[in-house]
Amino acid sequence: MPSPSTRFTAVLIAATAGAGALIASPALARGGDHRPDRGPNRPVASPLPPPSAPLPGVGVIAPDGPGTDQGDRRARPAPGSRQAGPLAPGDDNASPRVGGADRWLSPGVRRGRSFRVSCDFVKAGMFDPIVAPGVEPAGHDHQFFGALTISKDSTPADLVAANATRESTSCAQTRDGSAYWMPALQVVDDPDNPVAIEPDEIRVRYAAPRGQRVRPFPAGFTLIAGDKSATELQANAGWRCEFDAPRTPLEAAPPGCDPDEAIVGVVRFPNCWDGKDLTSPTQDHMAYRSGRTCPSTHPVALPEMVQEVFWVDDGQDHAYALASGNTAGLHADFMNGWNQRALRNQVRRWLNRRG
């Protein structure tokens, strides 16, 4: 099996030959042999620093400053030279072994009150069934994970029905038929010929913040997090390298990663719901918590979700952009396709348990 750097180079060559066309992967069956290096016991570093603002974030602005629309070029450190960020006294930085050792928790999440879902890359396409249902092409290229049937016409009910036999998802948790997506990450060394990088997988953390009992996402629920127009590091979205130490600050652009180390895009979603709307064009049905509490306008606590997408990297210095614009504008989408009974069980077992 080729190494990640070999696969990355092959993607660049193939995409360049295709005049920059987006590289799409066929739907991947669960448990395939395309990622032998990703085993259940491999540790995962946490990128999430202690909160530093009224609305806790997942990163701090990097010294190198924001990205640009011309492409964010990484400064490459010597291999193994990256330093860990500070750990706040008393912050939890470990979780139970849900699918393997994991040190990925957001600020205020108590140890043991989380679970993770990992899903393979499914396909890419210029459609968005939340923002522009039924329209293709629409917006910019996205890279999709989870639901194998995702399309411009998909609804949450469609995803649940399609996965009734637990065979229509790329997620290791086969009762999760949800669709997760982010804008395509592109190499823009030649700005006139952007080349999309094929991602490997997404890891989605569901957690209950300290002091909150949460309800499962309701059937029919959709959500978007992150600002695609951002030009500086967002409070709840940013970039890291795969093996960064816990609490390493996120950056506005992909940082210099060691060879064969994935580039990781991280987005934290709000978890406070208004209790009424399952979706909203302006996303105002949800709000971020402040400390341990939800605002009175959004009193219902749902699971706090963090999405991390892994893109293979060749360890070389490239300029990067998102299909939606500069890399500071990282954002992500979620369409609930869970079997609701299974999701309730997960929430009860992992998120609302005592201790």
pTM given for the model: 0.76
Predicted pLDDT of residue 60? 29
Predicted pLDDT of residue 73? 59
For the segment 223-233, what is each residue's pLDDT rounded down to a tens digit?
999 999 999 99
Q: 85 to each of 43, 62, 129, 236, 311, how far by Cα in Å?
A: 18, 11, 38, 17, 22
- Amino acid sitting at position 26: P
Q: Residue 274: which pLDDT band, with cuts at 50, 70 and 90?
A: very high
Cα separation, 145 vs 149, in Å, equals 10
Closest CA to 209 of 266, 267, 271, 268: 271
Closest CA to 334 of 204, 212, 233: 204
Predicted pLDDT of residue 15? 46
Predicted pLDDT of residue 124? 97
For the segment 171-196, what is each residue's pLDDT rounded down to a tens digit?
999 999 999 999 999 999 999 999 99
**Whether pLDDT at 94 is above 60:** no
Domain ranges of the chain: 1-29+42-355
Predicted pLDDT of residue 299? 97
Closest CA to 99 of 180, 173, 176: 173
